[in-house]
Amino acid sequence: MSKNFDSPYDLSEGERYAHRWGYTDTRFDFDGPKSVCVTGSRYPLSGYSMPNFIPFLEEVLDITIEKDDASDEIAEKEVPEPHINEAFLAEIRKALDPDQVSVDGKSRLIHSHGQLSVDEIYKVLYGDPFKRVVDLVVYPKNEDEVRKIVEMARTHDVCIVPYGGGTNVSGALACPPEERRMIVSVDMRLMDQIIWLDEENHLACVEAGISGKRLEIELQKRGYTSGHDPDSVELATLGGWIATNASGMKKNRYGNIEEIVLEATLITPTGDVETKHVTPRNSTGIQPRSFLFGSEGNFGIISKAVIKIHPTPAARKYGLLIFPTFERGVEFLRALRGTGTIPASIRLGNNVEFRFGFAMKREPTFCGSLLQKIQKIFIHKIKGFDDQKMVACTVLMEGNTQEVRHQGKSIFGLAGKFGGINGGESNGRRAYAAIFAIAYLRDFVNRLHILGETFETSVPWNKIHQVTQAVGKELVSQAEHHNIPGKPYLAFRIPQTYHTGVCIYFTMGFYTKGLDDPSGVYHKIEQRLRQVILDNGGSLSHHHGVGKIRKGFLPQIQTQNSMNVMRKAKEAMDPGNIFGAGNGVFGETD
């Protein structure tokens, strides 16, 4: 392991939850009537009481939360009987080892959903069974086995759904309820090796089933990094990143996934799609690799990819900036873009996110409490910041020592021109790392009848406030229309900036106790907010993908001929619709 490797997440392996997010040693739980903690020791948030968190939720949602009011997970999950194609099953059992083929109900249910909060996880945990699940799960160990599986599926007219880390939040893994053929989930996670590494040209060929965490561990042993650092890095796979056209927190330095991957292999029913020679760039007509990014399992199975690798940075430094308002923070981000001195990661949250971060802190010691009082005097009395308006910006700088020093001087110097003050390196490190544990919070608040989910968009610089304000206004209106108890929750942040605009990442939630159809109401509100984003100049998605929950919006953003072109391309690669998950333009758009 490289001596410079400083991971913001835990590198140890662990048992994963069957349906919920993450590892079984970690969960949010009550440790008092109004206090919570994160179990285990995997994350910086783990192992201490957070006495302010429940009061924060009660304040922003305008409700009262009682520990004894939590719902219990349904112990026995209802799983439909499998649709078995006996000829295919007999042939696949001859081709693979017994432990590579499973008809077990628990395994089938696990492989029939991603991590979409309400439409998937809430239904699984609290008793709304899926109408259709996969009928078989197979685990190939190499490309030849993948090709055999695809060929057998073509011969026997079986539907295939590729499976990576199971972390998508677009409904892409949901089985089409009308599918009458046998549905086979192809779990790629046994294909998790670095095939070769070219140090001279800074390239690596990697199997697609490798998780982000394992990829970084193996690269760091050799002194390298991929630089791809999404919130789901511990669990998501390389193939999944390509299939969803993913983005990571450090894309400023290393690029989004389409810039990291130079070439990949797609195994389809009509043969492999790939370029035979990997070069830095070429002009050889329309690139077949373009069909991989955002393909969402519709064309074939991604088996391996050639990616760029970078020497582990010699220096890494975190920072935190506090601005008096979100608007001033946005002005700073835009000005920073103009300087060309962009850190590996910079993330600006709104005031709700800022207060959320404080609610996650532990009870301070006497000295800590005294320090907090001094800081408050400086921030509020001297600087004139308002608790209900101030925001925070998390910074991560990477590179050589001189580069990081220059970035820090430039970034923090510029921030001062927009009223920003330095919040400290330790707070910056903690804020950056906290993002990896926050995903566990969803399953905790679901138990308390609070449904929440994230959704994202990309917008031009001049549409940022228009979009965020329109979403906030519409959410309040929808909450009133559906008689939501208390007040809805809306937090948002800008995790990515570009020359022409930004990504906005929303977290929305509300209290549902007493509603007749909580998940139905949530779905209607969320769909309405997506429409508001489109109406105000935002994109349908920045990095989550389309899947099934956004496919109905596609006619608003693509011409009919554009969608027809993509469908014709699928016919060339998959004329029998063997890859029939029906995501994006390949599903019904009502």
Residues with catalytic roles: 505
Distance CA(331)–CA(340), nearest Å, equals 15
Distance CA(223)–CA(202), nearest Å, equals 11
Question: Angle formed by the axes of helices 464-481 and 326-339, to 10°?
Answer: 150
* Residue 319 DSSP code: E
Distance CA(397)–CA(313), nearest Å, equals 10
Burial class (CB in 10 A: 0-12, 13-18, 19+), 161: buried
Phi, psi at 20, each rounded to 5°:
-75, 175
Distance CA(142)–CA(319), nearest Å, equals 43
Query: How far apart, in Å, are the Cα atoms of 49 and each of 150, 215, 364?
Result: 50, 33, 11
Distance CA(171)–CA(88), nearest Å, equals 27
Which residue is associated with the tokens 């920045």? Answer: 542
Distance CA(421)–CA(376), nearest Å, equals 13
Which residue is associated with the tokens 């006495």? Answer: 51
Number of alpha carbons in the 13 Å side-chain half-sphere of residue 481: 11
Distance CA(535)–CA(467), nearest Å, equals 9
Distance CA(158)–CA(76), nearest Å, equals 29
SS3 485: coil
User: Beta-carbon neighbour count of residue 441 at 10 Å?
Assistant: 21
